[in-house]
Structure 1
């Protein structure tokens, strides 16, 4: 199967779900983020002790979108496109559909064969200090700019959603950073990013009207950060597989 055909199938699947529920976009982005502290599709596996059962992963959304795309791809060419690749592509498309940037997604990931709830402890928590969050990102080869660019909604009940951006909750833009600058963050953990000297400088650059002139183009840099994040601990042919169904190993 050609890369273009695979990407077009994923794109059309995401579009169909987005048309009926635009809030699926942040759900898919968060799902990708929670998978990509080891981008192997392990967060998609169901089980009592699997990652989905961990507290930070309660309320994850978008699983049905990935399952739908996988079924369509398997019908055309079985055993070729991994669930990990589908998730990375779907996250990119969901951002693009929300008036955000698009970027080239490197493909070829394999799916992991193991999913453990204990792995979720590596995820940044809304209870973490900024120092702890920075350390968790650093442990995965990500820096402070990556931390600010890949922020995602925290743990929570998926049936009780609250907009974390009071400026433009349905649009992907820099309004989130302006809220931090103005002291209007919804979450205390987000507002702490303004009080930390290092993250404060990054927030100010992205919130500034002059960010483009100064070279701080959030859209462009967000895409770079996503590519970097989606390359963490990628599985290969030796230690991975292409699942037939994303919710269980072959």
Structure 2
């Protein structure tokens, strides 16, 4: 773990100068229709599959937390190397075809100009907007990375993390406690398999089978969906009650004891983060404003070196 921390710190220091090189106007002259091409690809995918927005947002987050937002999560495993996308925390990622289709569309109009990392950042923004959330101008100019190791996915924040672990993980990427709470709101979209929250509903600790912070009726519902030693493939629960709509329901349910992950519940364990949860639960606008700021901040870290012609392979 110490080695992973050192690697992350070195990565952050080496890419800090690249943050300032990003610009919302980066492709205005070289590929002015890049954003619309990406948006069209995302729209087409969402029409056929309502799980796509959650998938793209999660994919972008997982990309950015390993060596910065460099598109490395898109790369395929090869001889002698298990790719980032095949690391344990990433095996449930899906929707890669959306990025590949967007890349093909962009390559058709301006070959070799737009990075896969930028396409993923744009697609994540579009995923939020198309789900009823806010839009924002995405700073662009990221380069694609050449390092993609499954072993590095161990540094991703886990759903079982407590608040101290979350704060440490986010601070290593230059992200504050407000960023932590705001970006956790991305859990308003999507679905989780039982394995990510079964620690809260079975053998929680020596005194409780179920996490006592869980709402009892909600816990009972989860136990029915995910019985002990559950072997039902694909079993799980939506992240909140409006899992295809980007809203602040996640926070409203969190304060009611109806969150899925230990990491979600941990946001109520300190006065500072608890106050932010309450703020975002009471104001959708406050959440959206904070989410935009934190997304721009998170996605501005980039340590890539090239523009890939195919997002699946280094040049």
Q: TM-score, normalised by structure 2?
A: 0.72
Runs of 4+ aligned structure 1 residues displaced above 6 Å come to none
Tell me which residue corresponds to 1:173. Answer: 247
Pick one of 72, 93, 98 that aligns with 1:65.
Answer: 98
| Whole-Å separation in 1 of the counterparts to 2:138 and 2:307 | 18
Deviation of 1:187 (Å): 2.4
Gaps of 5+ in 1: none
- When the two structures are aligned, how many residues end up with a matched partner? 240
Contact in 2 for aligned 1:134/1:144 (Cα 8 Å): yes
Pick one of 109, 115, 125 that aligns with 1:76.
Answer: 109
- Does residue 27 (structure 1) correspond to residue 55 (structure 2)? The answer is yes
The correspondence of residues 27-176 of structure 1 with structure 2, limited to 5 A, is: 27-37=55-65, 38-47=68-77, 48-151=81-184, 152=186, 159-160=234-235, 162-166=237-241, 168-176=242-250
Contact in 1 for aligned 2:163/2:269 (Cα 8 Å): no
| Whole-Å separation in 1 of the counterparts to 2:310 and 2:166 | 33
- Does residue 186 (structure 1) correspond to residue 260 (structure 2)? The answer is yes
Q: TM-score, normalised by structure 1?
A: 0.90
| Whole-Å separation in 2 of the counterparts to 1:129 and 1:199 | 12
Largest Rg, 1 or 2? 2
Gaps of 5+ in 2: 1-26, 196-232
| Whole-Å separation in 2 of the counterparts to 1:39 and 1:19 | 27
SS in 2 for 1:128: coil
Query: Alpha-carbon deviations, 1:41-74, whole Å to 9, x = none?
Result: 0010010511012111111022100000011111
| Whole-Å separation in 1 of the counterparts to 2:174 and 2:311 | 27
Contact in 2 for aligned 1:57/1:155 (Cα 8 Å): no
Pick one of 226, 242, 245 that aligns with 2:307.
Answer: 242
CA distance 1:246–1:103, shift in 2 (3 Å): same
| Whole-Å separation in 2 of the counterparts to 1:67 and 1:21 | 16
Alignment RMSD: 2.0
Pick one of 264, 286, 291 that aligns with 1:217.
Answer: 286
SS in 2 for 1:39: coil
